[in-house]
């Protein structure tokens, strides 16, 4: 992605760094069925948004980049792919595993314990400094989880409970589901609070005043 769309991607991630297996993995926010799920109300935007707007939200936040024009070849290609993935899913229904696993948001985070989990179970791939593991031929083998090449503070993944829900089901890669819910919250509290690019427009998020506790 950074190489295919250098003007629109401002970090070292790919869409599929989070939407695993090309957007087909349940509980890793799959794209299956989204063609018939949007337009949809989003509390972060405070209005009904189109699938193109939702895609651009991830370009601007998760990818720390710039939105695509709705009529660009790239946007049309992404839309066509999501439409194809949605073949056979009735309009207006959600596939099982849309979004992430539910996580108990009353759990209190312990970032100090989270650091020890990170060191033992995450740092081998994502780096002791969250910097990821670079591919000598360009890009990353294991993507960064904080720092300048990671998602920005306005991204869904920068929210502790959202990150915990992703990690609980999907990380460590290949061993998803092995962390307890508390451990997932603790490790998410550790890495989400680390330095990462800012996103000034986040101050306009949740215009109706229903901002979640873990939003930055």
| Closest distance of CB 108 from ligand HEC, Å | 18
- Write phi, then psi, for 47 (nearest 5 degrees): -160, 175
Yes or no: say if 43 and 114 are a contact pair by the CB < 8 Å rule: no
Yes or no: say if 188 and 101 are a contact pair by the CB < 8 Å rule: no
Which of 86, 131, 152, 162 is the binder for ligand HEC (CB under 6 A)?
162
* Choices 84-92, 101-109, 150-158, 201-209; region in contact with ligand HEC by CB under 6 A: 150-158
* Choices 84-92, 105-113, 161-169, 194-202; region in contact with ligand HEC by CB under 6 A: 161-169
SS3 state of residue 20: helix
Cα–Cα distance for residue pair 189/193, rounded to 1 Å:
6
**Matching residue, tokens 């949605």:** 86
* Choices 84-92, 104-112, 143-151, 193-201; region in contact with ligand HEC by CB under 6 A: 143-151
SS3 state of residue 40: strand
Q: Which of residues 38-57 bind ligand HEC (CB under 6 A)?
A: 54-55
* Choices 16-24, 85-93, 193-201, 203-211; region in contact with ligand HEC by CB under 6 A: 16-24
Query: What Rg, from alpha-carbon coordinates, does the chain have?
Result: 17
Yes or no: say if 78 and 31 are a contact pair by the CB < 8 Å rule: no
| Closest distance of CB 55 from ligand HEC, Å | 5
Contact residues for ligand HEC, defined by CB under 6 A: 13, 15-20, 29, 31, 34, 54-55, 58-59, 62-63, 78, 98-99, 121-122, 124-126, 142-145, 150-151, 155-157, 162-163, 167, 171-173, 187
């Amino acid at each position: 992605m950074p190489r295919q769309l250098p003007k629109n991607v401002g970090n070292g991630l790919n869409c599929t760094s989070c939407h695993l297996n090309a957007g087909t993995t349940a509980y890793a926010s799959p794209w299956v069925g989204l063609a018939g799920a949007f337009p949809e109300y989003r509390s972060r935007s405070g209005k009904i948004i189109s699938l193109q707007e939702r895609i651009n939200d991830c370009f601007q936040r998760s990818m720390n980049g710039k939105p695509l024009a709705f009529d660009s070849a790239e946007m049309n290609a992404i839309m066509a792919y999501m439409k194809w993935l949605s073949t056979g899913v009735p309009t207006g229904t959600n596939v099982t595993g849309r979004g992430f696993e539910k996580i108990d948001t009353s759990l209190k985070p312990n970032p100090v314990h989270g650091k020890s989990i990170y060191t033992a179970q995450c740092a081998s791939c994502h780096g002791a400094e969250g910097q990821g593991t670079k591919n000598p031929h360009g890009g990353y083998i294991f993507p960064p989880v904080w720092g300048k090449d990671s998602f920005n503070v306005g991204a869904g993944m920068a929210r502790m409970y959202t990150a915990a829900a992703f990690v609980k089901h999907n990380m460590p890669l290949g061993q998803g589901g092995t962390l307890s819910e508390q451990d997932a919250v603790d490790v998410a509290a550790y890495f989400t609070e680390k330095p990462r690019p800012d996103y000034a427009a986040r101050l306009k998020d949740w215009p109706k005043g229903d901002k979640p506790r873990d939003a930055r």
